Amino acid sequence: MSAARLDETTRGVFPISATPFAPDGALDLDSLDHLVEFYLARRVHGLTLLGIMGEAPKLSPAESRAVVCRAVGRVAGRVPVVVGVSSPNLSALAALANDSMAAGAAGVMVAPMSGIVGDDALVAYMASVIGAIDAGTPVVYQDYPQATGVTLTVEAFHRMVEVFPQLVMLKHEDAPGLTKLSRIRAEAARAGRRRVSILVGNNALYYPQELARGADGAMTGFSYPEMLVEVYERFATGDRDGAEDVFDVYLPLLRYEAQPGTGLAMRKELLARRGALASPTVRAPGLTLSPDDRRELDRLVTRLERRLKA
């Protein structure tokens, strides 16, 4: 039932899936089925569960497993599924990773716990993570210092690529990060190092530039994943201008959705308006949208639709 596991050649768009809740905050697994179909109908190349946009820290362990089980089951091998398993509790991290792989996931994503300073400590932390999970589990390193406070130097990443064969992908979302991405690609090529997959996060705000610098796709939660797919595909076939034209049409909404703090509520609102979610509920405690916010979304969507028609 599972798709092939992640490896260094994995490419494409792996949206960060929202986690559906009923208006009372209960997990809504029926809506999750529907959401999976929404993403697959937009021809995504994979799916990412339990990311930060998936409100992972607000789920109980049992709920996390229920989400993985249901979504992987519904996907039914059509695309690979990555599961975010980050936790300061190493055995909880390992248990969720192992259970997810057993359920048919294609790999797990790990952001380092807060408080790690220095290359050595970071490599040691990843060694303890990789030692704790089942051998051979493909691992995605999530480089998101804005949330974790942990700096990934290019040198540390090269070291991890050398010593951890399971590390097959970087979720790149340091900001500013364009130079880091270019350095990783150039230095690895020069040194004959293993080339790993790099998918970009950070709301895809620099997506065309990142593809040109050697990224292999995107792993982010924009509410119109079909844009991420179309840009990727045009780029892959050499139509860079066409890719950028498509990106630019969506950019006014994309940059608005990318606001720190309210972004998640906006994405769930738009996914609900698009019929992908039964309810836009964000689990408490979380920001809610003001009437001004909703009016701005209305305008931006109206303007987007007008441009898409043109």
Instruction: Report the interface residues with its own copies, using CB under 8 A.
Output: 25, 57-61, 88-92, 113, 115, 117-120, 125, 128-129, 132, 151, 153-155, 175-176, 178-179, 182, 205-206, 209, 212-213, 241, 244, 247-248, 251-252, 255-256, 259-262, 283-285, 290, 292-293, 296, 299, 303
CB of 106 to its own copies, least distance (A): 25
Residue with tokens 């992640």: 6
Identify the sign of the CA torsion 229, 231, 232, 233.
positive
Q: How far is the CB of 77 from its own copies (least distance, A)?
A: 30
Cβ closest to its own copies, residue 75 vs residue 111: 111
Shortest separation between residue 288's beta carbon and its own copies, angstroms: 11
Q: Which is nearer to its own copies, 102 or 117 (CB)?
A: 117
Q: Which of 42, 17, 16 is nearest to 219 (CA)?
A: 16
- Least separation in angstroms between residue 302's CB and its own copies is 10
Nearer to its own copies, 13 or 129 (CB): 129
Does residue 110 sit in helix, strand or coil? strand
Is 9 or 153 the residue whose CB approaches its own copies more closely? 153
CA 55/CA 38 separation, integer angstroms: 19
Q: Which two tokens stand for residue 50?
A: 């339990």
Residue 234 tokens, joined: 């045009």
Residue 267 CB, shortest distance to its own copies, in Å, is 14
- The percent of the chain in helix, strand and coil, each rounded to the nearest 5, is 50, 10, 40
Q: Which one, of 204, 269, 219, lies nearest residue 79 by Cα?
A: 219
Select 46 or 177, whichever has its Cβ closest to its own copies. Answer: 177
